[in-house]
Amino acid sequence: VLHAPMPSRRSRDNLILYGAGQTGAVLADALRRERAATVVGFVDDSPSLVDRDVSGIRVYPSDQISKLMEETDTAEVVLCMPSISSSRRAEIVSRLTELNARVRVVPAVSDLATGRFIISQMREIDIDDLLGRSAVPADQALMRSVIENRSILVTAGGRSLGPGRGR
């Protein structure tokens, strides 16, 4: 039996959920209930979940995310794995950024289940998510003494982080 994801009429409302565990299942159910977006598929790193359905939605291997995004005209991925390490989160976000995906994150499933979090509070990923801690602000005086009146090369300047850091 072939199973193909069904894209919505408006592809900007299509989402892929990265992580088919408890958090992903709760979010998929909430999105369906609220009619906030169409979940076209889950992707997961766990071979035991691949080719299964979670909340009635097919789970694909994470290495097929590019193909799934293209086939379903989906540009947004929601990271539904709140307990992964910051290094693993950074790996996933880096890969998704290379695919020009808009990446959002959700908090712990306990916040979803207790109502302390609602779908409209999903947010873009930020540096604190990648670090696994709060960012430490730069010492402006030290930075000025090191870079003032010097030419600075910003690598990856055309991607998501470089342009903002170059300013």
Tell me the two tokens of residue 140. Answer: 């402006």
The reported pLDDT for the residue numbered 20 is 94
The pTM for the full model equals 0.64
H helix runs in the chain, sequence order: 22-34, 65-72, 86-98, 109-113, 127-131, 140-147, 162-166
Q: Is the pLDDT of residue 22 over 60?
A: yes
The reported pLDDT for the residue numbered 140 is 85
How do residues 47-80 score in pLDDT, each as one tens digit? 999 999 999 999 999 999 999 999 999 999 999 9
The reported pLDDT for the residue numbered 15 is 92
State the Cα–Cα distance between residues 126 and 15, nearest whole angstrom: 19
State the Cα–Cα distance between residues 161 and 167, nearest whole angstrom: 11
Q: Is the pLDDT of residue 141 over 90?
A: no
- Judge whether 54 and 140 are in contact, CB under 8 Å: no
